[in-house]
Amino acid sequence: MPNGNDSGSGSSSSSSSAQHHDAPSVGFVPTMGALHAGHLDLVQRSLRENAYTVISIFVNPAQFAPNEDLASYPRTLPSDVQALIEAEQAQKGLGEIGALFVPNVQEMYPPLPGTSTPFTQNVQQQEGAFVTMHGSLASSLEGASRPAFFRGVATVVTKLFHAVEPTRVYFGQKDIQQALILRGMVSSLLFGAPGKEGFKVVETRRDQETGLALSSRNAYLSDEARRRWAPLLIRGLEEGRSAFDTAIAAGESAKEVERKVTSTALGKIDSLAKQAEQESGGRVRFEVDYVSLNCRYTLRPYAEAIAAEGPAAADGAVLSGAVALIEGQGEGKEARRTRLIDNLLLGKAEEEILGASSER
Ligand SMILES: Nc1ncnc2c1ncn2[C@@H]1O[C@H](COP(=O)(O)OP(=O)(O)OP(=O)(O)O)[C@@H](O)[C@H]1O
Ligand SMILES: CC(C)(CO)[C@@H](O)C(=O)[O-]
Ligand code: BAL
């Protein structure tokens, strides 16, 4: 058991009425379960930096559109619990798991007093309070493809932060837009727990052999698609990163940098997609949703952001992409569609977002 002192590595400057100076620190890792090594990196980091770590597992219906995969989302609670026990046992520091919070829908979306209306995914029929981020951070990229997604995420995370009152919170770089929005929300809504300094973004954990970003939804992929074809997105982004470094070193204009980076990444993705389609005999195909180079602060398109915000926005950027991998199931069976997202933090973005001193 911790001795009641903050075992954190450096005390947070984010004290608030909810965070007494002598109270033990609480790290919080919100998840939707189906835990993998990426989630466990967040848990391990929290265990190292806090006296107590709280993990939540809640498949939040508000962030799924009615046509999305709420019903089929992987739910693996017994093995999740086992993975957390093992992560805690492997932990050498002082921190321990204080709680695993597994609420149900009724608890997270209680009917308003005097009513009994249950939660509905139909946004027009919803009752109660919901949190919406305005501006380019939320309307671009995933926000453009999944219009109710970030409203659902910001709402549930607000409720979770209220329930847990964490000192520090841990989110993955894999969902970079989510992390930047929630960091912005904490600042915009004057959250005390966590405070601004307590918001941590942890580097994306990848498959060692293929570089594929670990993701609960990878469970939808066949073994072959996961090994051979899904890594196409990160291959494309890596080519885009090289193009960024070359274009910046050559002093190209922001518009040229943006054009070269996105066209290089897209070119690589297209050629690998054609190869996948040919070599799989048409069983695997890809649809590109977006490949985009964006400002590391606002997620506005790179050149537009530099024109509006000045040259400081030029020294780094977020290069991200989303593709659907579609696997035919054989005769008479429906094709299975898996949405993959990934990103690279270019130039100064990496250090600024992940933190110079963080153990990655
Ligand atoms: N590969 C990864 N590396 C680091 N963090 C990750 C990784 N994958 C997910 N996370 C982070 O774990 C937290 C919980 O994510 P979530 O439970 O949605 O898992 P997921 O793998 O992202 O699932 P999905 O497939 O639905 O996107 C989020 O902060 C997310 O960014
Ligand atoms: C942050 C989150 C737990 C909110 O449901 C979810 O979007 C996730 O797991 O990334
Ligand atoms: N990891 C983000 C959760 C989602 O895509 O629904």
pLDDT for residue 329: 65
Ligand 3 center to 60 CA (angstroms): 9
Cross-strand bridge partners of residue 286: 325
The ranges of the chain with pLDDT < 70 are: 1-21, 329-333, 356-360
Q: Which two tokens stand for residue 51?
A: 């006296």
Nearest-atom number in ligand 3 for the CA of 60 is: 6
What is the distance of C-alpha 154 from the center of its chain?
12
Nearest CA to ligand 1 atom 27: 215
Dihedral-angle region of residue 211 (phi above 0 means left; psi in -120 to 50 means alpha; beta otherwise): left
CATH class of 216-353: alpha beta
Dihedral angle, C-alpha 321, 282, 215, 179, nearest 10 °:
20
Write down the ipTM of this complex.
Answer: 0.99
pLDDT for residue 98: 97
Nearest CA to ligand 1 atom 7: 38
Contact 262, 291 (CB under 8 A): yes
For 118-185, the DSSP string reads PP-S-GGG--S------SHHHHSTHHHHSTTHHHHHHHHHHHHHHHH--SEEEEEGGGHHHHHHHHHH
Ligand 1 center to 279 CA (angstroms): 30
Query: What residues does CATH 3.40.50.620 cover in the chain?
Result: 26-202
Ligand 2 center to 283 CA (angstroms): 31
Nearest-atom number in ligand 1 for the CA of 170 is: 29
pLDDT for residue 334: 75
Q: How many CA atoms lie within 13 A of 301 on its CB side?
A: 13
Dihedral-angle region of residue 253 (phi above 0 means left; psi in -120 to 50 means alpha; beta otherwise): beta
Query: What residues does CATH 3.30.1300.10 cover in the chain?
Result: 216-353
Nearest-atom number in ligand 1 for the CA of 204 is: 3
Decide yes or no: CATH 3.40.50.620 for domain 26-202. Answer: yes
pLDDT for residue 349: 98
Cα distances from 134 to residues 57, 137, 174, 300, in angstroms, run 27, 7, 22, 13
Segment (H or E) for 268 = helix 254-279
Ligand 3 center to 256 CA (angstroms): 32
pLDDT for residue 91: 83
pLDDT for residue 3: 35
Strands of 168-172's sheet, edge to edge? Answer: 96-101, 52-57, 26-31, 168-172, 199-202
The response to whether residue 175 sits with its C-beta less than 6 Å from ligand 3 reads: yes
Nearest-atom number in ligand 2 for the CA of 56 is: 3
**Of 20, 21, 39, 134, catalytic:** 39
Tell me the pTM.
0.94
Ligand 1 binding residues, C-beta < 6 A: 31-32, 38-39, 41-42, 171-172, 174-175, 202, 204-205, 213-217
39 is catalytic: yes
